[in-house]
Amino acid sequence: MSFAIATPHVAATDAGAAVLADGGNAVDATVAATAVLGVTYPHMCGIGGDLFLLHYDTSTTSVTCLNASGPAPLLASPRAYFERGFTSVPSRGPLAVTVPGAVDGWAKALARLGSRPISSLLEPAIAAAKGGVPVPPNLARWIVANARDLKQDARLASTFFSGVGTPLSAGDVLRQPALARSLERIADRGASEFYRGTLGVQISEAVEIAGGLLRERDLAEYSASWVPPIATTHRGLDVYTTPPNSQGVTALVMLRLLSSLGAHRMQPGSRDYIAAFVTAKRAAFRLRDRHLGDPAFKCTDWQALLDDRSLRREVDPGQPSETDFPPGGDTVYVCTVDSAGNACSAIHSIYYGFGACLVAGETGVLLHNRGHAFSLDHDTPTSLAPGKRPRHTLMASLALSRSGLRYVFGSMGAEGQPQFNVQVLDRLLAGAAPPDAVAAPRILHGRFALEDPPDTLRIEADMGSDVIRSLDQPRDTVEIVPSRSDVMGHAHAIARTRGQLTAGADPRSDGSAIVG
C-alpha cells in the first residue's frame, strides 16, 4: 500500500512524506510535519500551543484519541482577573496563557504509536528554524493584519519585521534561532525538558515576569490524556471525532440533523442543502453552547444526545444560535496514512493568529492564548476554574466503512471547523475526490470575529450566482466573500477507495498533498 499526507505548507508536507517514504508510520510523519509547521506557520501553531489527534490502527480497525490540550493555571480564577480590573480574560498577553499541551502530546503519541525517536523527527524543523524559510503568502498577510499587536513584544517585532520596522513580505527569509535552540533541547532531552527542565523554568519565569499566572508547577504536573473518541453513523459510515473539551461533537450533531432533514438527497452547495445546513448548524451550536465544556468539571452524555429522539427533545432546529464563545483564531490540520494503512488526523494550534503575542523570554516559544476561551461567569460550561481545560475549537475527524478506513479529514477555522468538516465530508460522499472536495466553495454561518453579527451567512463567490440569488435566508445577512477565502478555513483530506489513496490540500493555504 502507498502512503499519503496533506498539510497547509509544502515544507511540512515534504518533511512528513520523507518520514513515510523511509518507513516511518503515520504518527511519526505527523510529528515531523507539525513541528515544521510551527516554524513555517508560526502564526497558527507551535510548541507553545495545543494538539488533538485521532489514530486509526489498521490491524485492529480501532480508533484512539489523544487530548493534548492544556488547562488553566492553578492560580487562575475569576477573582484573580477581577482583582486585576478585568471583566473577561484578555485575548492577548500573559493573562491569556494556559498550559501548552502539544509537546507532551507528541511524546505520548510517539511512546504509544510511533516508531521513530523525537530527536530525528524534529531535525527538519530545527534546520528550518536555524537556516530560515521563505515567508509564505499566508503568513505575510497575517503579519500585516496583526502588526500592532506584534510590535508590542520586542522579540516578535525583531522576528517578523525588518530593522526599519517593515513587515516581512512573502519570499523574505524568516529565521528563528531561539526557537531552533528550544527544539534542539527537546530533541536531546525529550518532552520533559519543556515541562520539568530548564526550558520549562524559563517559560514559567517569563510568564510570571510579564504578569501572567502560569507557574512551574502547572507545567510540571501536565500530562496529555488518551480518551475515547466520539462517533456517530452518517450515510453508512462511522464518523469519529475528538470528544469534549473539543467541539468535534458539534459536527456529529450537525450530521445527524442533516440526515433527518433529508440532506443526503440534496446536492452539496445547492440552495436546499444550504437551507438545511443552516438549520442544522443553528441547532447544533445551541446544544454545544448549553452543554460543552471540560468533562472533568461538567459531564454530559454526548453519545446519548446523538440519538435522534434525544436531539428532537433537546434541540429546536428553528431557534437561533446565541454564543459569546470567542470565535477568532487560527490553526493547522494534518492528515497522514502510512504504508501499513494506519492513519492520523491531527490538529495543532496557538488559537488566535500569533496566539498571546508573547514570546517566553529567550526561548523563542510563542505562547498560545487559550485562556481567552474561558468565561468569568460562574454559570456557564466555559466558566474559568483552576486546572480546567477550555472549550476547544480544535477538532479532528476520520470516517470508517465496513471495510476499514475511508476518509481522514479536517480543517482549521475556529468556530467554522464543524461547518467545514461537514461540508468537506458531504462533498466526498457526493463523489468528489479529496482535491476537489477541499477546494469546493464553502459557506460559514455565524461569527468569525467577535464584532460580526451572529446571523451572518458568508458564501464564497464561486458557489455560483444562481445559487446565491436563490438563497432565502430571511433571518440572516448574506455576505459574498471572494473565492478561496481564508475565512473558510484550510481543509485537507485523504480518501481510501478500493485500496487506493488520494489526497488533497486546500488551495486556500500554502500547502500540498503527496501520495507516494
Which residue in 25, 61, 45, 46 sits closest to 398, CA to CA?
61
* Residue 422: other Cβ atoms inside 10 A: 27
Pick left, alpha or beta for residue 351 (phi over 0 → left; psi -120 to 50 → alpha; otherwise beta): left
Which residue in 198, 240, 255 sits closest to 400, CA to CA?
240
Helices (H), 392-484: 417-429, 434-439, 465-470
Active site residue 331: yes
**Burial of residue 250, with CB atoms counted within 10 A of its CB: 0-12 exposed, 13-18 middle, 19 or more buried:** buried
Three-state secondary-structure class, residue 165: coil
Q: Alpha carbon of 152 to those of 41, 158, 475: distances in Å?
A: 20, 11, 40
Which residue in 263, 237, 215 sits closest to 423, CA to CA?
263
Report d(CA 128, CA 123) in Å as an integer: 9
Cis previous bond, 245, omega within 30:
yes
Amino acid at 111: A
Catalytic residue among 331, 363, 382, 393: 331
The residue length of the chain stands at 516
**Burial of residue 100, with CB atoms counted within 10 A of its CB: 0-12 exposed, 13-18 middle, 19 or more buried:** buried
Helix (H) or strand (E) holding 287: helix 271-291
Q: Which residues are catalytic?
A: 331
